[in-house]
Amino acid sequence: MINLELPEKLTQVQAMAQQLASGVFRPISRKYDAIEHCETPEELKPVAQMMASMGRGPRDKAAPSDEIRNGANMMGIMGVEAMCWGDVGLMLSIPGTGLGNAAVSAVGTAEQKEKYGKLYCAMAITEPGAGSDSAAISTTAQLDGDEWVLNGEKIYCTGGQRCDAVVVWATLDKKLGKAAIKSFIIPRDNPGMSLVRVEDKMGLRVSDTAALSLNDCRIPKDHILGSAEIADSEEARKKAFGGVMQTFDNTRPQVAAMALGLARAALEITREIYEKEGVKASFSKLPYSLSARELELYRLEADLEAARLMTLKAAWMADNGQPNSKEASMCKAKAGRMGNDVTLKCVALCGELGYSERTLLEKLARDSKIIDIFEGTQQIQQLIVARHLLGLSSRELK
């Protein structure tokens, strides 16, 4: 059973991440929002070194199968939420912590995890004709002897310019639809893969978002994530998509955690502004004795807390080996919508202070929008949840 009290090891991670957010991220948040297309911020390089050294440290022994675990997923939620209180874009720009690393961790072999786990891996899924519908991917991967040959175009690849390698989703056979989608790891400087452009964006401006082109890009056969045996039979290919989709069960709660940190930051700034005007929210008061502004703050606080609990549950289930696809989509949908709503409402509640650059509220509102879109849009998450609740397949409910 889930315990709503966080264990000490998680609160320690949370406190360290919060210190990083307040001491490093917040002071440079405006600076890098204005610069946008830049190299990796110098201030983040020591952070990457620190995180790498922590990753090489001693690990907790695995808990017996009958014990409750609070492992890497829950720890990731705590760290991401706290860091995104400081700045989501800067958190995503830390060298060595790309979304592709989650894919390697989810479906890579032991050898691949050892070989690629220490690299900075981006993930390339979206294409001009394939956004939230991953099954519509048209980038192809053909086996030619002992090499894969990939051709296609990828857009909106977070970290695609600065990374060491890219996890690319491609189809082995278009006729098989989503069953033939598989992920491949390609070194960033691999011949045949080129950078087309880096996008100008509304939010997360410091985080590079790239378009990549694959033209007869050749990689060794063992660069397919998971077993290379997947290419040897049609039955094995049909199991490919389920493997790559496991990545989202781990990453969607972490994206939800981004919204949690960002929304918490907006509410804290709003409360500080209100308190200077003599308006201090008190949950001990009855609703009918509150002002409209206080009631709105309460509603936003409640929405944030609901999203937080859903996110913790999804991460806890993953740590304890329980299927969490439905819960991962639920928390991502809830938190993504909540992050948009909270930040925009905080801008409105604070008037000119919210809209101007005198506070971070307008930046938080800009940054919040993409969290509701990437890793699967609000509509896609609701569709996934509906399929689980109704017991229908993707073919039966589109």
Q: What is the pLDDT of residues 162-219, one digit of tens each?
A: 999 999 999 998 888 788 889 999 999 999 999 999 999 999 999 999 999 999 999 9
Q: What is the pLDDT of residues 274-291, one digit of tens each?
A: 999 887 777 777 777 788
Q: What is the pLDDT of residues 323-370, one digit of tens each?
A: 999 999 999 999 999 999 999 999 999 999 999 999 999 999 999 999
**Taking the complete model, does pTM exceed 0.95, yes or no?**
no
Nearest to 254 by CA among 65, 52, 69, 97: 97
Name all domains of the chain by residue range, CATH numbers in brackets.
1-398 (1.20.140.10)
Residues serving a catalytic function are: 375
Structure tokens at 302: 């409640």
Q: What is the pLDDT of residues 11-58, one digit of tens each?
A: 999 999 999 999 999 999 999 999 988 888 999 999 988 887 765 443
